[in-house]
Amino acid sequence: MRWITVARWWTIGALAVLQAPLQAQTSTSPLPLSLDRIRAALEEPPPILQIPVESADKPTFRVEVRQSMWALRPIEEERPFDPTMGLPSVGELLMDGIEKIHSEVVNYKHGRAQRRARKEVEEALAALCAVRECPTSGTPK
């Protein structure tokens, strides 16, 4: 509890110290500001950059900028905002579920047809072996 009280006093003290310069700056500004002077300075042409030459020779080059430094390339087509953020919709989830159920039904029917065919073959072999002698799988031919 005591550290909260100390922190409050530190905060109040810091605010008191910081508030004094702010009031002094806003009451009277030491800089002479004039909108007329600023407008007049903005209407003048920009100054030409001159580099002092250390030797008596004059420079023999000239630089002329014909294009801005930041040549902006056209941005590729932006993709439209996707509110689903790539997540499947309810319709897609429903269709995926229906497809899974359909494939399971098809697999079940295919397996049932195979089981029935094997059973039919086994019954036909059993009927054939009942009439004739059939070698068993355990005896050599």
pLDDT at residue 110 in the model: 96
Q: How far is 125 from 135, CA to CA, in rounded Å?
A: 11
**Domain segments of the chain as ranges:** 90-133
Closest to 50 (Cα-Cα) out of 42, 40, 58: 58
Q: Across the chain, what does the average pLDDT equal?
A: 76
Does the pLDDT at position 49 exceed 60?
yes
> Which among 134, 116, 117 has a CA at the least distance from the CA of 125?
134
Which stretch of DSSP H or E encloses residue 5?
helix 2-27
Please give the residue that has the higher pLDDT: either 114 or 22. 114
- Per-residue pLDDT at 89: 83
Tokens at 104, concatenated: 């399971």
Spatial CB neighbours of 96, under 8 Å, sequence gap ≥ 6: 88
Asked if pLDDT for residue 140 goes beyond 70, the answer is no
Which of 2-11, 19-28, 109-118 tops mean pLDDT?
109-118
Distance, in Å, from the CA atom of 40 to the CA atom of 36, rounded to the nearest integer, reads 6
